[in-house]
Amino acid sequence: MVELSVIIPVYNEEDNLPRLWPELRSVLEEMAVSFEVIFVDDGSRDHSAEIIRALREADGRVRLVRLKANAGETAATDAGFKAARGQRVLTMDADLQNDPHDIPPLVQRLEQWDAAIGWRVSRGEGDSIVRRVSSRIANATRNWLSHESIRDSGCTFRAFRRECLRGLVLYRGFHRFIPTLLRMRGYRVVEVPVRNRPRGFGRSKYGVLNRVFSHYEPYKGPIEAGRKGVLVSNSDGETAAYALWNLEERGVMFVGAGEKTYQGMIIGENSRSDDLDVNPMKAKQLTNVRASGKDEAVRLTPPIRMTLERSLAWVQDDELVEVTPKSIRLRKAILDPNERKRAERAREAMSA
């Protein structure tokens, strides 16, 4: 099992790669975790791909993903997300400005948070005045548009729990909005101070305008919400670890093992757009060959705990937020699944 996937978009970095890999490998080996490093070649025109192939032949933990043409950092990052196999995923640049020694504190914060976002507190150490000014303009513009307070949305030195990336759709330039997209979906995001070293070789591929604007188009109406469907409990009882372990493939869980649930209660977000009734109490079926004492230990991903503010912004018209002295729970307005289906058919008939 791969514990950590490191994704590194690469575009014409032939001089930096031979220096990056030894330092990165040393840090990852000291962490004593199983890891893979995925270099995503974004249509490089130099010898970057050949260098990565040589690294891969020397070390099986190195992987290469190649894009046919230069598609941009968002596309390269998304390709890396799709190829990653680790329980934790980290992204960083290949230009030597991200210090690999900042990886352990970023990953460590995932014990309490869903995503840890790098914040370059000393930009003057590694960037020119032009880059610092363009970054401030870009951060201010993005925060104004998204009503956020991310101090360094342009820093791509980030660590994520794997479940955060399920169903994440990234359009051109959206890699800078990943922290905001995750918060919109109810995930907990923390900013972590990281170092910013001088660029090793080559030059930056980004200027002022392409940090903020992609292009102009006529107004097409409000942006649709990006929320998916929900996972709804179909019965009453206490959740079972084995059932939740199987449901993790369906989406992101809001409950942990041994928690009381009831019919109609929302226990997670589906990775697809439709709602799904599920049984979170289903236990593993035992046979004469496999006794309970020989079962493998189930390792669950920590559930997402929705705050009241996030819950109120997240629920849809047919859902309710239930607040008790001990918990905040989400539920369908109509608890019985058969009655919900009849109500949905009645709404469809009236709108026809």
Q: What is the CATH number of the domain that holds 263?
A: 2.40.50.250
The answer as to whether 55 is a domain residue is yes
Could you tell me if 183 and 268 lie in one domain?
A: no
The answer as to whether 220 is a domain residue is no
Task: Tell me what pLDDT residue 208 has.
Answer: 46
Pairing of strands 4-10, 62-67: unpaired
Could you tell me if 116 and 205 lie in one domain?
A: yes
Beta bridge partners of 257: none
pLDDT tens-place values along the chain, 352 residues long: 899 999 999 999 999 999 999 999 999 999 999 999 999 999 999 999 999 999 999 999 999 999 988 989 889 999 999 999 999 999 999 999 999 999 999 999 999 999 999 988 775 554 455 455 555 555 555 454 445 557 677 789 999 999 888 878 787 777 888 888 888 888 889 999 998 888 766 665 544 445 555 555 666 665 554 567 899 999 999 999 999 988 887 878 899 999 999 999 999 988 777 899 999 998 876 555 544 444 456 677 778 888 887 788 888 889 999 998 888 999 999 999 999 999 888 888 887 6
Q: Domain boundary at 160, 184, 212, which?
A: 212
The answer as to whether 225 is a domain residue is no
Q: What is the CATH number of the domain that holds 33?
A: 3.90.550.10
- Interatomic CA distance for residues 320 and 297, integer angstroms: 35
Could you tell me if 72 and 42 lie in one domain?
A: yes
Task: Tell me what pLDDT residue 146 has.
Answer: 47
Task: Tell me what pLDDT residue 206 has.
Answer: 47
Could you tell me if 151 and 258 lie in one domain?
A: no
The answer as to whether 159 is a domain residue is yes
The answer as to whether 217 is a domain residue is no
User: What is the total count of domains within the chain?
Assistant: 2
Q: Give me the helix-helix angle, 17-30 and 48-58, nearest 10°.
A: 30
Could you tell me if 166 and 199 lie in one domain?
A: yes
Count of alpha carbons within 13 angstroms of residue 23, beta-carbon side: 15
Q: Domain boundary at 158, 184, 212, which?
A: 212
- Are 276 and 233 spatial neighbours (Cβ–Cβ below 8 Å)? no
The answer as to whether 16 is a domain residue is yes
Q: Domain boundary at 212, 238, 270, which?
A: 212
- Are 175 and 211 spatial neighbours (Cβ–Cβ below 8 Å)? no
Could you tell me if 187 and 330 lie in one domain?
A: no
**Per-residue pLDDT tens digits for 240-297:** 999 998 888 787 889 999 999 999 999 998 877 789 999 999 887 655 554 444 445 6
The boundaries of the domain holding residue 286 are: 230-351
70 contacts: CB under 8 Å, gap ≥ 6? 11, 42, 43, 44
Could you tell me if 123 and 72 lie in one domain?
A: yes
Task: Tell me what pLDDT residue 312 has.
Answer: 86
The answer as to whether 123 is a domain residue is yes
The answer as to whether 138 is a domain residue is yes
Could you tell me if 292 and 334 lie in one domain?
A: yes
Could you tell me if 197 and 247 lie in one domain?
A: no
Could you tell me if 265 and 198 lie in one domain?
A: no
- Are 97 and 126 spatial neighbours (Cβ–Cβ below 8 Å)? yes
